Structure 1
Amino acid sequence: MNMALDFSEVDAGMLAEVGGKAANLGELTRAGLPVPPGRVLTTEAYRQVAQGLETSGDGLAERARRHLLEAPVPAAVHEAIVKSYAALGDDVPVAVRSSATAEDLPFASFAGQQDTFLNVVGAEAVVDAVRRCWASLWTDRAIAYRESNGIDHAAVRLAVVVQVMVDARVAGVMFTANPVTGRRREAVIDANPGLGEAVVSGAVNPDRFVVYGGEILERHAGDKRLTIRSLPGGGTERVETSHEDFCLTDERVRALAGLGTRVEDHYGAPQDTEWAIDEHGEIWLTQARPITTLYPLPERDRPGLRVYFSVNVAQGVMAPFTPMGVSAFQLISGGAARLFGHGPADPLDGAPFAAVSGQRMWFDLTTAVRSRFGRVLLPRMLTLGEARAVPLFEQLAQDPRLSVVYTSPRPVLRGLSRFARRIHAPSRAMLALTRPRKALEYAARLGEELDRRLLVPESATPEQRLDHAERMLAGTFPVIVSVMPVAVVGYGLFALAAKLSGVPLSDMQDILRSVPHNPTTEMDLELWDLTTRIEPEPFKEKPVAELVSLYQAGQLPPVAQREITAFLDKYGHRGVAEIDLGVPRWSEEPAHILGVLANYLRMDGGAGLAPSALFAKGAEEARAAIAQVAAAARRKGRWRAAVVRFGLRRTREFAGLRELPKFYLVKTLAGVRRSMLVVGEHLVGLGVLDSARDVFFLGLRETRAALDGGDLRQVVAERRAAYEQESRRRHVPRVLLSDGTEPEALASAAAASTTGGALTGTAASAGTVTGVARVVLDPIGAHLEPGEILICPSTDPGWTPLFLTAGGLVMEMGGAMSHGAVVAREYGIPAVVGVPDATHRITTGQEITVNGAAGTVTLL
């Protein structure tokens, strides 16, 4: 390997040799873009100096830095540094910049993690600056950043860029896409007099310009109170200054934006660039790297601006889907679309409105947004499940690019009519009204029929298992959704009772407490009840990992072994992120359930706090609430009271069925998963895969093709790595436009998230509680003390065992009818949902007050 290379000898494929920064500078140079001349000391130079360095163990950071600062520089390395510097000119001022092999990557920029030294003059000064760059690979911040991105310390090397300094009159940074709103091709430029370090380091409030299509959309003047300037003979100085005017003319702003477009076009992706303008007015590029924080866009096959809604966010599953999970969801969506008369020609293609981006599922709601009828119906539907999205769609309705083009309601009404007929909605609703017991029996029979349909003979071939899986996934949704008319009758009568009595719906929430026939509530109560029957000793004494080993070996105490097995036989198909077919179920990985049991058994609580007692109390309060609403109705007429009592009794009988379709859907996914594991074992035998679970990193089409043989192990390894990387994404938009814009980011943060010092969201479950907050991002292994207030991104049924001990609930996502809200009401837990950034703005241990009726969270 060469010890030093000129930028003209470097390209993007030389990452391992020159690091990310140098690879990009070389690529820009070779593309003919204006880059100051420079050379790069390759990772070979670092390797020679770092020989013998241990990259693990205690005191790693300090030990590594001391080694690199004190170890002798080999003669060959010293010579390479001196010659590289001399090649740029006689005592020319240079910037000495770190260029790590794990830097400026598509998924992690590492911006600012290693050091840069500006205006370095003289050969020995350059040698010293290079040595300090090497040492900066081992700062605490750089180590922590690598660990957070899953990058092995031992695999990282550092090259060093030595580049001619631009004596900048103005400098700064430019994003070729808006990093806040996500809008692509909207350049955002920060500029300040002097060197760009003032802007990059955040030491100054720079001028800001936003440019789109050659038009300057925004100009914001910064105070520009600090300028960093080069000093004669080397080094820099910081000078306090005062600049009232903009430091860039409109002509320069447009020229910079045009240069940014050239850079983005070269890379084919938005870029984060640094630039400088010299005393002659010439613009120079000093760096370019991918903008790693932008959410990837769905592939578009239809023209115009599109509006996408996140299925993951709505379901509280922030993690990506596995490839087979995506395949399964597409099949299910195709089955749903057929009910409305819009099914795809090939079911495996999924519904026309389903899209994939960032390994997550999205619905294209453009047609609804641009429909007069859709603009009425969509907000009402979202209010129930994802209330924070409602103002976003109201905001989009004002965008002239999304004007109404579908004025007739007939297509929607035809689709809804077709849907109602195909699931026999009128007859199911009539059954619920007139023969409630028969309606409940019908819902139960659906589950029994589903269990029969999920059975696959042991002798089934892999091809037959795939055929069965595709039939189940495409055909199950139309069957299980047929129970929804029964649940809708319950909620419809709830609304009718409010109208007849004059009691606001918000004052009737107690009626929805402790409703029967909710499979998730029943599961949670059965789990708690286990604690009253099993032997407590091992759960109080042993760590969860050991409990799992004992259970899987059949060596737990006999009652615990038997009762937990029975519980998992009934509910083992559930799990966290359970709508992804590729995710293990509790029956496969029981650590979560055993950990919950251990937490329950370690608690001290009176019998009155037992969930069964609280549930019974909630049912009594619900009956009392019905009597109060009926009394209010009686004052308006005797017949009204009778109708209200009738309606609210039906509400309590059927409201719990809201959770049943998903319960059955997840059971279907679990059944298909079991069958696909058998197919995976077959593929392992063929040498196609290393492990049966690797099958979930293939789509259904690919799995069928793999039955003919081949080797997909490398494909699986790459997909698993991409999945794990995407799992670390910290932000997923709830609504995304096809130009990259996140509508939520356009809203005012102050107006959206605070009112009178309180965080605000959607009122979900009435009541007020003051307690200690517990922020939980992942329910697996989480521990919640009785009375603590659970703060979480969202919930699916895998979270609900935590509800049994929670004093209150705050969720970032959701609406009044979202899963967490429904379960919180049933347990009588005060809850506020749809609170922006709750998991960041509230900290564990902080005392807060949750007002579930007002929808506010007050930080005390």
Structure 2
Amino acid sequence: MLPLVGGKGANLGVLTRAGMPVPPGFCLTTEAYRRVAGAAGLESVLDALSRTAPGDTVALAELAGRARALVLAAPVPDDIAQAVRQSAGEAVAVRSSATAEDLPDASFAGQQDTYLNVIGPDAVLDAVRRCWASLWTDRAVAYRAANGIDHGAVHLAVVIQEMVQSEVAGVMFTANPVTGRRHEVVIDASPGLGEAVVSGAVNPDHFVVSPSKKITERRLGDKLMAVRSLPGGGTEQRTVQSVPDDGTEQVGGRACLSDEQVVALARLGARVEDHYGSPQDTEWAIDASGTLWLTQARPITTLYPLPEGKDGLRVYFNFSLAQGLHRPITPMGIWAFRTLASSVPLVYGRPVGYWPGGTTPLAEPGMRLFADITGIMRSRAGRAIFPRMLDVMETRSAVVLRGLFDDKRLSLTQPSPLPALRRALRIAIRYRIPGRLVQAVVRPETSHQRVAWVGDRIRERLAPPAGMTPAQRLDHVERVLSTRVLPMMPNIVPGPLAGGLMLGLAGRLLRGRVKPGELLAVLRGLPNNVTTEMDLALWHAATRIRADEPSARALSGPALPEGELPPVLRKELTEFLAKYGHRAVAEIDLGVPRWSDDPSHVLGVLANYLRLDDPALAPDTQFARGAREAEAMVDTLARRAGMLRGRVVRFALHRARELVGYREMPKNYLILALAEMRRQIATVGVELAGKGLLASPDDVFMLGLPEVRAALGGTDQRELVARRRATYEREMRRRHLPRVLLSDGTEPEAVGAAPPTEGALTGTPASPGTLTGTARVVLDPVGAHLEPGEILVAPSTDPGWTPLFLTAGALVMEMGGANSHGAVVAREYGIPAVVGVAQATSRITTGQKITVDGTSGAVILDPPSEAPPSS
């Protein structure tokens, strides 16, 4: 009934039918809103909104104000007004219930208005009218724009319920919204009505209850303010002073909930979660008689999805993030990686797919690739090797994994390093790595020859036979990715591995004689690095384009050129793409267009190069400077080492420079293979779209290869593609990704936070992550301006602050708990947040550099600078 009663109304109906303690009430359906809005004349506003960018908050706010005024001025039909007046109770809560709220992927928490303790028929009708208008608050319009939701498709119902005159109220999450741990209940509570907790106007009592219903954390807030009902209707904020222990509103040392009430709430939360089958964000109240009421439940939308599958605690490493890929991976890209991974056993002489359990240790929650590294974490050799590898490529993940070594649930099951050594020895013998290591050190040119040989062999294997049918093209793609690419890569390894060993040897010989950073300085301006060569090739193309007036003019405008390109520009672009057109942004995803498919990124880089006027900043100049500095550092370190040792150091560092650059070649060849296989699959997509089995050729990348085969057999895959694309677009908006994820939903990085830095401001961690940026202290959101990436520092935030969150890089609040509105929205937008930071708006100044650690609850201040006054 969502289209008829909205998200809140539907959920309250579900809870009532399930026998949950929901205050009785009724729902004024969306049909009433449709009739009123239909007469309001919103068409011009809706048309303007459809043409307004999501980031243009000023224009959105102006249009929202016009829409509110139109709805408030529209007449209410007599039958609707009479129905509302006749149904109004003695004291009720009038609550908005939009069709786009409390959804699995967008909570819309607090975006529309609620009116509490409304008394009298006329007052109820007025509150209903204001609820309708609240569909067009600035915050609701900005939120819908940010989430890509059609304004005209959203309608509003109104829930009217008996008012619960609560003694204590608050919010409860049935999974920990900060750490992600499932079935760990988090409760924030304060005396009076729940509005004080939800709005973040009070520092509430905070409780955490384990899955076994044991209270594992109890942190008492000051609770200096309570929202209470007024006798004639409406509510007031009442300041609460510390008073003797007489059972009235207590602060400081006494909790507003007993342990029995906390556990009863947790049990109720578990019932709600079991009924829905997913973690829930609930609001609750306890009246003067001690009766517990449930006033709202909605999905927790900020939790990262769990991997499906195996029993017991598992550890998943975010491979996507380690590759610098924040965006989701297309279904075809995921299929390609699974297929490539199935060929890993070939490297050490095992059949394709020879994995413990029979499947590759990959999972794809949230359309990102995660590797199941539980076996590595429970192996002595894995613990010794894997974090050290990450120290080079993804340092923070290495820290997080080492923090799990003491978890008793991940005790060692493979204490002997022998199995790992046997596998390594098998690979070393199979690919003759020891001999080739020596060869690379003695004659570095052999590594160059071997890299070229691997490239030639891979290109031969990628070439498709002539005259293939679509089914044969798919067979070719599967054959290449499952057997013909990855097993070639160890042939390249001896060169860069020898370079790394030489660098390590030099470091050992220089122990005690080298300063931090000096050894790595030797790796500046490396030769034989395909990525650097690509960048320099593009720069040299830009210099030739600059010398040609028509080409330079084509790239000098505000927009990229379209249509026929000038001859020199066309020639340079064609030659560059012939060699590097297989590359792309997010290139590890086979489903992403290559530069040869869409060269706009390359044209944009060329245009930026043409704007570079300072010769000292030219890429080739900087590369040459880096190479000279590296050679100078080699000389410096060799002299510092002494005569005989210095000669060895010089030799080792020169070999490191010659060989380490080849480390980029395996990925380059892998991307080359993915680009060619993409071309083959795209050809099949054209045929399927021509037959009407796909809406467009590119839709083929929203399928895995087995589903493409089914489409060739006549299965219409358009509905499946539409669902996948909607999920993909939703995941594109996700801003927070876990580096490491446990199978119970826990993000170890959020749990294993270091204690706050000495001297830092401390509060409650509310949204994980760390950001260093410029603070903007805002005391009133009306008219406030926040530059993109600035850190919003506020006394507290209610839903009216939401538009500022669109550009905020992080959030610091003086008041509120981890479940207050500001914390919920910060998590939904994926920005770090710390709440309950005492005197934050006076101790932090606008313009000051601060670091917000939403994982540990610390706000670290740089010394204040001269700054403009607070907004």
Same fold (TM over 0.5): yes
Q: What residue number does 1:628 align with?
A: 636
Q: Which amino acid aligns with 2:74?
A: A
How far residue 484 of structure 1 moved from its aligned partner, in angstroms, is: 1.6
CA gap of 1:341–1:750, structure 2 versus 1, over 3 A, is: farther
How far residue 591 of structure 1 moved from its aligned partner, in angstroms, is: 1.1
CA gap of 1:36–1:308, structure 2 versus 1, over 3 A, is: same
Among 35, 39, 42, which residue is 1:53 paired with?
Answer: 42
Separation in 1, partners of 2:447, 2:681: 34
Contact between 1:331 and 1:470, CA under 8 Å: does it hold in 2? yes
Q: How does 1:228-239 map to 2 (within 5 A)?
A: 228-239=227-238
Q: What residue number does 1:619 align with?
A: 627
Q: Secondary structure at the match of 1:710?
A: coil
Residues 1:23 and 2:18 aligned together: no
Q: Which amino acid aligns with 1:549?
A: E
Q: What residue number does 1:831 align with?
A: none
Q: What residue number does 1:667 align with?
A: 672
How far residue 452 of structure 1 moved from its aligned partner, in angstroms, is: 2.1
Separation in 1, partners of 2:285, 2:848: 46
Separation in 2, partners of 1:42, 1:838: 35
Among 575, 593, 607, which residue is 2:602 paired with?
Answer: 593
Q: Secondary structure at the match of 1:106?
A: coil
How far residue 38 of structure 1 moved from its aligned partner, in angstroms, is: 1.0
How far residue 214 of structure 1 moved from its aligned partner, in angstroms, is: 1.0
Instruction: Give aligned-pair identity as a percent.
Output: 55
Q: Deviations over 1:750-792 (max 9, x none)?
A: 64899999xxxxxxxxxxxxxx99xxxxxxxxxxxxxxxx99x
Separation in 2, partners of 1:378, 1:641: 32
Q: What residue number does 1:654 align with?
A: 659
Q: Secondary structure at the match of 2:93?
A: strand
Q: What residue number does 1:461 align with?
A: 469
Q: Deviations over 1:764-822 (max 9, x none)?
A: xxxxxxxx99xxxxxxxxxxxxxxxx99xxxxxxxxxxxxxxxxxxx99xxxxxxxxxx
Q: What residue number does 1:131 align with?
A: 129
Residues 1:62 and 2:65 aligned together: yes
Q: Which amino acid aligns with 1:209?
A: F
Separation in 1, partners of 2:623, 2:390: 29
Q: What residue number does 2:107 align with?
A: 109
Q: What residue number does 2:245 align with?
A: none
Contact between 1:544 and 1:591, CA under 8 Å: does it hold in 2? no
Q: What residue number does 2:287 align with?
A: 278
Separation in 1, partners of 2:128, 2:115: 9
Separation in 1, partners of 2:107, 2:390: 36
Separation in 2, partners of 1:135, 1:171: 27
Separation in 1, partners of 2:832, 2:618: 28
CA gap of 1:334–1:604, structure 2 versus 1, over 3 A, is: same
Q: What residue number does 2:273 align with?
A: 264
Among 546, 560, 585, which residue is 2:569 paired with?
Answer: 560
Q: Which amino acid aligns with 2:85?
A: V
Q: Which amino acid aligns with 1:360?
A: R
CA gap of 1:558–1:358, structure 2 versus 1, over 3 A, is: same
Separation in 1, partners of 2:646, 2:86: 95
TM-score by length of 1: 0.83
Q: What residue number does 2:219 align with?
A: 220
Q: How many residues align?
A: 753
Residues 1:37 and 2:24 aligned together: yes
How far residue 641 of structure 1 moved from its aligned partner, in angstroms, is: 2.6
Among 297, 305, 311, which residue is 2:306 paired with?
Answer: 297
Q: Which runs of 5+ in 2 are unaligned?
A: 49-58, 243-249, 763-772, 775-788, 791-808, 811-829, 835-845, 852-859, 866-871
Q: Which runs of 5+ in 1 are unaligned?
A: 1-13, 86-90, 758-771, 774-789, 792-810, 813-836, 850-855
Q: What residue number does 2:869 align with?
A: none
CA gap of 1:653–1:43, structure 2 versus 1, over 3 A, is: same
Separation in 2, partners of 1:542, 1:754: 51
Contact between 1:581 and 1:669, CA under 8 Å: does it hold in 2? yes
How far residue 629 of structure 1 moved from its aligned partner, in angstroms, is: 1.8
TM-score by length of 2: 0.82
Q: Which amino acid aligns with 1:529?
A: H
Contact between 2:849 and 2:861, CA under 8 Å: does it hold in 1? no
Among 517, 530, 553, which residue is 1:506 paired with?
Answer: 517
Contact between 2:848 and 2:862, CA under 8 Å: does it hold in 1? no
How far residue 340 of structure 1 moved from its aligned partner, in angstroms, is: 4.6
Q: Which amino acid aligns with 1:96?
A: V
CA gap of 1:528–1:32, structure 2 versus 1, over 3 A, is: same
How far residue 846 of structure 1 moved from its aligned partner, in angstroms, is: 9.7
Range 38-47 or range 384-393, more displaced:
384-393
Q: Secondary structure at the match of 1:658?
A: helix
Residues 1:522 and 2:533 aligned together: yes
Q: Secondary structure at the match of 1:269?
A: coil
Among 417, 421, 424, which residue is 1:409 paired with?
Answer: 417
Contact between 2:550 and 2:566, CA under 8 Å: does it hold in 1? no
Separation in 1, partners of 2:9, 2:351: 50
How far residue 422 of structure 1 moved from its aligned partner, in angstroms, is: 3.5
Among 705, 712, 726, which residue is 1:700 paired with?
Answer: 705
Q: Which amino acid aligns with 2:674?
A: L
Separation in 2, partners of 1:732, 1:587: 30
Q: What residue number does 1:365 align with?
A: 373
How far residue 374 of structure 1 moved from its aligned partner, in angstroms, is: 2.0
Q: Secondary structure at the match of 1:533?
A: helix
Separation in 2, partners of 1:280, 1:847: 50
Q: Secondary structure at the match of 1:190?
A: strand
How far residue 448 of structure 1 moved from its aligned partner, in angstroms, is: 2.0
Contact between 1:688 and 1:709, CA under 8 Å: does it hold in 2? yes
How far residue 544 of structure 1 moved from its aligned partner, in angstroms, is: 7.3
Separation in 2, partners of 1:33, 1:454: 61
Contact between 2:760 and 2:861, CA under 8 Å: does it hold in 1? no
Among 332, 343, 347, which residue is 1:335 paired with?
Answer: 343
Contact between 1:330 and 1:351, CA under 8 Å: does it hold in 2? no
How far residue 672 of structure 1 moved from its aligned partner, in angstroms, is: 0.4
Separation in 1, partners of 2:559, 2:201: 52
How far residue 284 of structure 1 moved from its aligned partner, in angstroms, is: 0.6
Contact between 1:423 and 1:478, CA under 8 Å: does it hold in 2? no
Q: What residue number does 2:786 align with?
A: none
CA gap of 1:661–1:79, structure 2 versus 1, over 3 A, is: same
Range 576-585 or range 428-437, more displaced:
428-437
Contact between 1:333 and 1:351, CA under 8 Å: does it hold in 2? no
Q: Secondary structure at the match of 2:560?
A: helix
Q: Secondary structure at the match of 2:116?
A: strand
Contact between 2:94 and 2:159, CA under 8 Å: does it hold in 1? yes
Separation in 1, partners of 2:320, 2:757: 22
Separation in 1, partners of 2:862, 2:322: 25
Separation in 1, partners of 2:396, 2:223: 37
Q: What residue number does 1:795 align with?
A: none
Q: Secondary structure at the match of 1:547?
A: coil
Q: Which amino acid aligns with 2:29?
A: T
CA gap of 1:516–1:161, structure 2 versus 1, over 3 A, is: same
Residues 1:383 and 2:391 aligned together: yes
Range 501-510 or range 394-403, more displaced:
501-510
CA gap of 1:19–1:214, structure 2 versus 1, over 3 A, is: same
How far residue 485 of structure 1 moved from its aligned partner, in angstroms, is: 2.0
Range 709-718 or range 191-200, more displaced:
709-718
Separation in 2, partners of 1:756, 1:482: 53
Contact between 1:173 and 1:199, CA under 8 Å: does it hold in 2? yes
CA gap of 1:406–1:752, structure 2 versus 1, over 3 A, is: farther
Q: Deviations over 1:648-705 (max 9, x none)?
A: 1211111111111111111111010011001111212332112111110110111122
Q: Deviations over 1:710-765 (max 9, x none)?
A: 211111111111100111001010001111111111233764899999xxxxxxxx
Separation in 2, partners of 1:471, 1:857: 56
CA gap of 1:37–1:353, structure 2 versus 1, over 3 A, is: same
Separation in 2, partners of 1:741, 1:587: 41
CA gap of 1:367–1:343, structure 2 versus 1, over 3 A, is: farther
Q: Which amino acid aligns with 1:479?
A: M
Separation in 2, partners of 1:756, 1:536: 57
CA gap of 1:161–1:293, structure 2 versus 1, over 3 A, is: same
Separation in 2, partners of 1:753, 1:492: 40
How far residue 840 of structure 1 moved from its aligned partner, in angstroms, is: 10
